[in-house]
Structure 1
Amino acid sequence: MPADDEEKKRPGVVYLIQKNKVYIICWLIAAASITAIVLVAIKYWELKERQLNVDYEFNQLRGSLAVAVNDPELLTGSPQDVAEEMRRVPGRLAKANRIKTQKAEIYEGIFHRKSIRSSPWHRQEKSRYYFSKGEKTWYDAEDFCSAQGAHLASVLNNKEQNFISSKLQRTSWIGLTTENEEGKWRWSDGSRLVQEYWSEDQPSNPRAFRKSNQDCAMIVPSLASRNWKNNSCLKRYRWVCKENMDLGE
């Protein structure tokens, strides 16, 4: 082949080689791009799955926390709300431990007080009652009850009135008195006077009990359901103590 013809063919071969290189490079770039897209997609779904797991765990935590602190609003609260509540958890736990300790002390006092252990106390719902066998003035009876961590009994509803009356055999003092303010009957334990069970013509009119110091109330069991009477606080009768067992649980 003549030399001139050989020289004419060489540029075409070079062009083809260069063109093929461009194709190869473009293919490699496309393959790399596809690979990168696939890897990004895989990473995205991995992160998405982790996010779903995090969301699930967060909702579980939020739900448990809402129940623990009795705050339904936390169920829809933001992560910041939950984080803030979590920061309060140590303080809440410390407070709960203090309350637990206080209640344990109260229970210990209730069940280990020598005077109570050796006396006929009766449990009724959230209170304990002591029905005496001896007799004292109203003042001495209140002092006795106070020494036991109690007071002369308050009567706050029909059920309690019936319970106390059913346990009595003789006239007994209860905690109702008007000695602090004439004509204003109040319970010695501070309870609000919500029900009254005075017998007929009771309590005595103010003139009568001013003259005879009839500032204290008693239950006379023989008078059936409406069996309260007032009398001189200095007279001696049996008595009923009442200790509140409601610890606010």
Structure 2
Amino acid sequence: MEVLPLQSHDKKEGRLSIVSTGPGNLQQMTPRALRAIAESDYVIGNAFYLDLVEPLLSGKEVIRSSMGREVERAKKALELAENHVVSMVSGGDAGVYGMASIVLEVVERSGSPVAVEVIPGVTAALSAASRLGSPLSGDYVTISLSDLLTPWEVIEKRLDLAFRMGVPVAVYNPRSNGRPDNLAKAISIAGRHLAPATPVGVVKDAFRKSEESLVTTLEEFPDRFDFVDMHSIVIIGGEESRLWRMGQDVRGIITPRGYHRKYVY
């Protein structure tokens, strides 16, 4: 497979960076992501994610887009990158339910010679996990409950297989006004394979000023569905996951990696 070489960052020829902005706090962005935006003539992206990096946009030509216009956004970014330095921002990690795939598909189908770089970031599952303790310490699965691009029948099959494995599952896009029942369906599937006491954690707006979190169990979680929205990540523990306690206080979730089977501590 031939990969187009990246152009030198010291040159001002056209290039396109797909910039992962992480969970929405500038302190969680990588130095490379910060530099890419600083070097850009144009910054384009969903208005919500652009607002989160507003302090970085001074002096830039900013193009705001809305949800559902990803293809149009990708085409515009590629067009601008023929003669300018362009950053396409994407929340979390651009390669995990983000803009990387559609931008690269547009580049591929157009045959454009524009140099493209995908800059990684902290994806939402890892941001949420860090706020809950260590629920994803070993193998785990990420699944989105959004059926806008994936048929629900496929999502149900994947959920069943994931919960059968007994590993933690990080759920993206868990509950929206247009899809209020998908989370309940997912938890019903989880209940076929996991114990009622399996820990469940929810983090909303991780690392933002409005951050909130919830730790509960699989059995009790349906009573707290109203807490969950599209800015939330739901982490459902696996067979070995347990509540992390300090005395009587529940601090979060721990999924042991297996050190207790090899070492005494």
TM-score category (smaller protein): under 0.3
Alignment TM-score, normalising by the size of structure 1? 0.23
Question: Greater strand share, 1 or 2?
Answer: 2
Question: Greater helix share, 1 or 2?
Answer: 1
